[in-house]
Amino acid sequence: MIELFDVSKQVPSGSETLTILHSLNLTIPDGQFISIVGPSGSGKSTLLGLIAGLDAPTAGDIRIDSESIVAMNEDDLARLRGKKIGFVFQSFHLIPSLTAFENVLVPMEIAGVPDATAHARQLLVDVDLTARASHYPSQLSGGEQQRVAIARAFANDPSILLADEPTGNLDSYNGRHIFDLMVEIHQRRSATLILVTHDHNLAEHADRSIALSDGRVIADRVPVVPPTREDQSFAEVIQS
């Protein structure tokens, strides 16, 4: 479970103080799929960064599985991320000098994962990229690069997957494929999925959707729109 208690974030801006997130309280149960929407600059990335412990709040407490992360040092935070959190970014963040396979494998080797080679191979199977394993990022399409990034994010079998506009640099077809892949892995592994997206159609597929505006939660609701044929997952359409 992820819990935020009166979490706020302020940054100095000249002689003033800019409030990026106003006091925020949030409880996210294990395995929930949450979408976060809101205009550019509303604080979505800041919120994700705080949950990942990549950034510290100005005030308040953040607990992951009842453990407060706000007072943790960098080593403990890195260990927690390595154990529990996977992150997927809009711009993929792959290492250009490593192949697709190596991009997945190397972080696992550094973390000392047993059978890393076999595990990395399976992760590429999961994202349907076996045929591209020895390609470098520059030789892959945007959708393929994001699939490598997803395989890497799931390398440590995280219980929490944070995705910051992962489909933002992709066309709608590839964006939908990436979205379906993340939802599928979230369901299969019962991982919590927190997805920041500009795409309201995708956001409606979540168990819960939170809207931010100017650093405040302005809506926190369960989407009610029933899925239509058009909303069927990529996998279902391929199979039907």
Give me the residues that bind ligand ADP (CB under 6 A), please: 11, 18, 20, 38, 40-46
The option from Mg ion, ligand ADP, none interacting with 20 (CB < 5 to 8 A, set by class) reads: ligand ADP
Query: Using an 8 Å Cβ cutoff, are 85 and 50 in contact?
Result: no
Nearer to ligand ADP, 38 or 137 (CB): 38
The option from Mg ion, ligand ADP, none interacting with 197 (CB < 5 to 8 A, set by class) reads: none
Report, in Å, the least distance between residue 57 CB and ligand ADP: 13
**Among 35, 45, 99, 159, contact with Mg ion (rule: CB under 5 A):** 45
Angle at which helices 116-126 and 100-110 cross, to 10°: 140
Query: Using an 8 Å Cβ cutoff, are 68 and 61 in contact?
Result: yes
CA-based nearest residue to 60, from 75, 45, 70: 70
**Burial of 126 per CB tally in 10 Å (0-12, 13-18, 19+):** middle
Burial 92-123 (b: 16+ CB within 10 A, else e): bebeeeebbbbbbbbbbeeeebeebeebbbeb
Nearer to ligand ADP, 43 or 166 (CB): 43
User: Is residue 42 a contact point for Mg ion (CB under 5 A)?
Assistant: no
Nearer to ligand ADP, 151 or 195 (CB): 195
Nearer to Mg ion, 159 or 209 (CB): 209
Which residues of this chain interact with Mg ion, rule CB under 5 A? 44-45
